[in-house]
Amino acid sequence: MEMKEFIDFCKKGNSISGEDKELYGLLTQCSYQAQKITMELNTSYHSKEEIVEIFSELTGNKVDSSFMCFPPFYTDFGKNITIGKNVFFNIGCSFQDRGGISIGDGTMIGMNVTIATLNHGLPSETRNVTYPSPVIIGDNVWIGSNATILPGVTIGDNSVVAAGAVVTKDVPVNTVVAGVPAKELKKIINNL
């Protein structure tokens, strides 16, 4: 399998076993490339424009010039992140993106936010198999510092995830969630 085919294979949500040497080898190549690119990002100063270019290389997609990131930033794959317009990542974000992370326009992601898209099998005989589930973050979402978003979660437009929350379930639009596990605190009513 060629690398482009492998990336498409991952974007379709296919699981990978550590016993599948070909797929595991391609996964390792992607991970090392992501490490190389993020090391470049994280170890020297870059202008806003350079950061946009580095993220475009990391994701394999054109990232809008309105994107802002304060490094360091970490990811284990890189090729399955989609970033909208006017998106901001604060210091220390860590994305496990092989399962797919989609971030809508106007979203702000706080310091040290972790987004995970993979689970392992629970029985010992499938523990080395990774099962991807995408994380979808809508438009104008605010994710507070040190929040963790778990695989398969969708966060609706205009919602807020409080600092330190662990989001295990979908968050409806216009909703504030907080806690471990995150629970709905209130609805957001815009008074325009």
List, by residue number, the catalytic residues: 120
Check: CB of residue 150 under 8 Å from CB of residue 171. no
Residue closest to 188 by CA, chosen among 147, 133, 140: 140
Question: Which amino acid is located at 9 in the chain?
Answer: F
Q: What is d(CA 124, CA 97) in angstroms, rounded to the nearest whole number?
A: 24
Q: What are phi and psi of 53, to 5 degrees?
A: -65, -40
Q: How distant, in Å, are the alpha carbons of 1, 28, 128, 180 from that of 24? A: 12, 6, 11, 33
Q: What is d(CA 122, CA 135) in angstroms, rounded to the nearest whole number?
A: 21
**Would you state the structure tokens that stand for residue 53, as one six-digit string?**
């270019």
CB contact set of 91 (below 8 Å; sequence gap of 6+): 70, 71, 72, 111, 112
